[in-house]
Chains A and B, each alone.
Chain A
Amino acid sequence: MKCKTVHKKIIFYLEGSLPENEMKKVQGHLQECSACLSFAKDLESTLAIIEKERYPEVNPYFYTRVRAGLENREPEQLQKKPALIRILQPALFAMILLLGIYSGFKIGKVPFNDSDVQASEMEIVPYLNEMASEPIESFLME
């Protein structure tokens, strides 16, 4: 077995997950090749870190922290409006706005009729046109 082939199988050899004949071949190679043996030992020490690190000591106040975290967030949840209100509220505002615009148009709509315009002019002019109410001749005579 070549060194390159062994390098690809060392992790499985260390786990003991290779088929029996391959385990023997790798083992035989490691007994002869010091470079591969050195790498196998190095890899074994590195992977052993996982065993050492597994199940870190847990904070004894962990539950208290979780509970506090939960209580801090509950008011936020309560502040959230129900889905129905969240949908209905903007819809209601939109309807009020449209109604306002529509009634604005209705109120502001001037009837476009010539006779009406003239009549309304006649109603307004006497107050504005002083000449009509007080002719210049009578003014000069006075």
Chain B
Amino acid sequence: MVGVLCVNSYREFLVEEENIIKGLQAGKEPAFRELVGTYQQMVVNTCFGMVHNKEDAEDLAQEVFIEVYRSVPAFRSDSKLSTWVYRIAVNKSLNYLRDRKRKGFRFSGESISGAGTSLSNLADEKSSRPGAGLEEAQRAALLYKAIDGLSEKQKTAFTLNKYEELSYKEIANVMELSLSSVESLIHRAKKNLQKKLYACYKKRCI
């Protein structure tokens, strides 16, 4: 009974996706509104997992929806709409991070095992997380730094898994990789993260 309900809800979901795509391709405003309403949280959350800043994540999410609106005539339904939207969100976030790195904005190559959290980073974290205690803000800053220290692929796979709770198969579809590659990426990401955080723990960063 539960299985039948799941299959039915999945079919409804696919029909809904198809209606959104058809509406968007016909240039209908309600379809775009529905798209934004359906995927807004998911896109903002994914971007936030990648850039760790709410304002930047919202700006990126806005760019993602504009890109979806512009590219939807070329969308051929080879993958699910949500997979395609995730892919655009990840690519936009990675491009943003590359640009920021090129401009030398914010983290200036300081290692996680180094001198700990700089005051400016901490101030940033505090302002973007009002109400959070100093220790929590410090912890968040260290965690974000450790995640940022991962390779692009490891970071993307880890973020999609932890922030969006996507299955390995869904991540493989988004990243256009094999299932075993995703498993390996996430395993290595967790090991690297643990190593970085242990180094910090030993130096009593917090």
Contact = CB atoms under 8 A, between A and B. Distances in A.
Contacts, number: 73
Interface residues of B, dominant DSSP: helix
Contacts of A54: 45, 163
Contacts of A56: 44-45, 48, 54, 57
A73 interface: yes
A63 B33 contact: yes
Interface residues of A, dominant DSSP: helix
Place the interface of chain B in its size category: 20 to 34
A41 B44 CA distance: 30
Interface of B: 33, 36-37, 40-41, 44-45, 48, 54, 57-58, 61-63, 65-66, 69-70, 129, 136, 139-140, 142-143, 162-163, 190-191, 193-194, 197-198, 201, 206
B40 A10 contact: no
B139 A46 contact: yes
A39 B201 contact: yes
Interface residues of A, number: 27
Contacts of B140: 49, 53
A59 B58 contact: yes
- The 8 A-B pairs with the shortest beta carbon distances in the complex, nearest first, are A11-B194, A66-B65, A49-B140, A11-B190, A63-B36, A46-B139, A66-B62, A56-B54
